[in-house]
Amino acid sequence: MNIFTAICGLDCESCEARLATIRDDAVMRERVARLWSKLNGAEITPEMINCEGCRVDGVKTPFCESLCVIRQCALNKKMETCGSCGEMETCEKVGIIIGKNRDAYSNLKGERV
């Protein structure tokens, strides 16, 4: 599985927070912070937009680092991704992602690389 496939199956390679981080792009960080603030109904600052990927060593957004219940669950179970979990198909946590994003589901099932 691609190391940039997040624990939930999302593609970290195309995540704008990761792209802004690896490009050190302040304008992109500002744009992502505004968008994510609006989508999440919470204040997200450009300084929070720093992430190298869910499953790689390095910086993560505050949400991904400690607030994401999906990531915390997999880490507690010592699972690389939700695709390794026998409960994935019925899990309400990851179901929020894979129920709306077929690519994430396919990534976890190993159907995409």
Q: What is the pLDDT of residues 74-94, one digit of tens each?
A: 999 999 999 999 999 999 999
| pTM of the complete model | 0.87
Given a cut of 90, whether residue 113 has pLDDT beyond it is no
Show Cβ contacts of residue 104 under 8 Å, excluding neighbours closer than 6 positions: 6, 8, 9, 10, 11, 97, 98
Given a cut of 50, whether residue 52 has pLDDT beyond it is: yes
64-75 pLDDT, tens digit each = 998 999 999 999
pLDDT of residue 61: 93
Fill in the amino acid letter for 53: G
Calculate the CA 49 to chain-centre distance. Answer: 12
Tokens representing 53 are 């990927």
Q: How confident is the model over 21-46, as pLDDT tens digits? A: 999 999 999 999 999 999 889 999 99
What is residue 31's predicted lDDT score, i.e. its pLDDT? 97
The pLDDT value given to residue 82: 97
Q: What are the structural domain ranges in the chain?
A: 12-109
